[in-house]
Chains A and B, each alone.
Chain A
């Protein structure tokens, strides 16, 4: 699974790194950022990545199977 954040849609709600800090962190622009090495999501975190995509207020996170 791949996960990425659309910087144009992201409005800095912080929910991704607030709730799923294993996958996301705060970027220098105060927007969400996928942690280095997590763009290809390990099996154990696939559900978290999908949930993050569901919960993002702006729909800025997308996952690709």
Chain B
């Protein structure tokens, strides 16, 4: 493979990118992708510096780069609100906006949701088909994160399918280039999503509860003013989208890793304290957010490469998470790895995933509860048990066929 010809949009490389990442890390740590012109950064230390340098590497263009067609952009202007998520802003505004929401997502406050989350996960685990092969992605990974976020937001649980649809559409622009028709569809669905959230926010004013939508309507700035409608909707959109595919994929890839790494299930069953190490290693090795974007506000030179002002920089977390300069034996799932939690799957610094404590809780509880009810997890078919959806920024499992036995099944019946 020639470093000058690596194309991360190539579907075959996406399925198995590790060699390409190694090549880029070693020979082209600042790599200008030939088709998109994005400058791709693959080393751990480089990404850590960039994410701590929001003045030179900004988020400001995040909203605009999604739509190419004026018709789609205009649809939002006429019928809805421009996307306004904390992820698309810079300090000092970002600091203030995010600051209102951080306490709700703090590790301690999220742990208070544990009993409700446990119930949801147990119900879902108990509802899994017990005989034959199942698609774990459809049966468990898809409904769980969205059900959890529906509850946290304070929306009716039965709406989780609707929210799932809207969030799937919301992230389409991040995956690949869209046709004008697709862009229009994304814009139209996006506006419907915004209207739904606005109705829900209005209801919370009259019927406040201990949930995220209530927090949004009750938040007051230092001067006593409320968050703007654009900010409330923007944050609610981000919470739903952020909670969805990323967690879904982390769950799927974790179960896949458990099946593919012999001895792991037994070890986790014997030593449940290792589940949290397992989760961190899965996030590191199989980062659901493979990379994110920044925009340079001035010319920047790195490793002898000039990145001109106004360039798109792609921070390839998935590559940095296997950088042997930071993680020894980086391709090994190592339950003893002390630095496992220092991975970049949630990024670092100001835009570090706000939902990380929630994601970790869901992942840890899911593995714990699944292991308590099922055992001998294995692939369900002779071949083609999993595949990935093409996409640049997100690493998404299309399906995962598995089989398992109930815990407590008579030993004599296993074939």
Cα A51 to Cα B342 with chains together (Å): 7
CB contacts (< 8 Å) of B102 on chain A: these are 15, 18-19
**How distant is the Cα of A51 from the Cα of B48 in the complex, in angstroms?**
14
CB distance from A19 to the nearest CB of B (A): 5
In contact, A65 and B339 (Cβ under 8 angstroms)? yes
Closest Cβ–Cβ distance, residue A40 to chain B (whole Å)? 15
Q: Is the pair B99, A54 in contact by a Cβ cutoff of 8 Å?
A: no
B residues 294-323 with Cβ under 8 Å of A?
A: none
Question: Which residue of chain B is the closest to A51 with respect to CB atoms?
Answer: B356
Contacting residues of chain B (359-386) with chain A, CB-CB under 8 angstroms: 360
B5 within 8 A of A: no
Q: Please give, as numbers and ranges, the residues of chain A lying within 8 Å of B342 by CB-CB distance.
A: 50, 53-54
- What are the residues of chain B within 8 A of A18 when measuring CB–CB? 99, 102-103, 106
Contact with B along A42-65 (1 / 0, CB 8 A): 000011101101111111000001
Given contacts A54-B341, A65-B338, contact A47 B360 (CB under 8 A): yes
Residues of A contacting B349 in the complex (Cβ-Cβ under 8 angstroms):
54-57, 59
Quick check: A48 and B52 within 8 Å, CB to CB? no
- Asked if B21 is at the interface of the complex by the 8 Å CB criterion, the answer is no
**Chain B 40-61 near chain A by CB (<8 Å), digits 1 or 0:** 0000000010001000000000
Which of under 10, 10 to 19, 20 to 34, or 35 or more describes the interface residues of B?
A: 20 to 34
- Report the Cα distance A59→B48, complex, angstroms: 9
Bound complex: CA of A39 vs CA of B348, how far in Å? 22
Least CB distance, B380 to chain A, in whole angstroms: 32
Identity of the chain A residue whose Cβ is nearest the Cβ of B276 in the assembled complex: A47
Q: Is the CB of A47 within 8 A of B99?
A: no
Q: How far is the CB of B345 from chain A (nearest CB, A)?
A: 10
Number of interface residues of A (CB under 8 A): 21
Among candidates A13, A14, A15, A51, residue contacting B357 with C-beta atoms closer than 8 Å: A51
Chain A residues with CB below 8 A from B169, complex form: none
Name the distance in Å between A15's Cβ and chain B's nearest Cβ. 7
* Complex contact A54–B103 (CB within 8 A): no
Q: Which residue of A lies closest to B343 (CB)?
A: A54
**CB pair B352 A55 closer than 8 Å:** yes
Closest to A65 in B: B338
List residues of chain A with CB within 8 A of the CB of B341: 46-47, 50-51, 54
Q: In the complex, A22→B105 CA distance in Å?
A: 14
Q: Counting CB contacts under 8 A, is B28 at the interface?
A: no
Whether A57 and B350, one on each chain, are in contact in the complex, defined by CB atoms closer than 8 angstroms, is yes
Since A19-B107, A20-B106, A55-B348 are in contact, a sample of 13 more A-B pairs with Cβ atoms closer than 8 Å, ordered by chain A residue number, is A18-B103, A19-B105, A20-B108, A47-B276, A47-B341, A48-B107, A50-B342, A51-B107, A51-B346, A54-B342, A55-B349, A55-B356, A65-B338
Enumerate chain A interface residues (CB-CB to B < 8 A).
13-15, 18-22, 46-48, 50-51, 53-59, 65
In the complex, the 5 A-B pairs of residues with the closest C-beta atoms, listed nearest first = A50-B341, A55-B352, A65-B338, A19-B106, A57-B350
The 24 sampled A-B contact pairs (Cβ below 8 Å) are: A13-B95, A13-B350, A14-B99, A15-B102, A18-B99, A19-B105, A19-B357, A46-B341, A51-B107, A51-B346, A51-B352, A51-B357, A54-B342, A54-B348, A54-B352, A55-B352, A55-B356, A56-B349, A57-B52, A57-B349, A59-B48, A59-B348, A59-B349, A65-B339
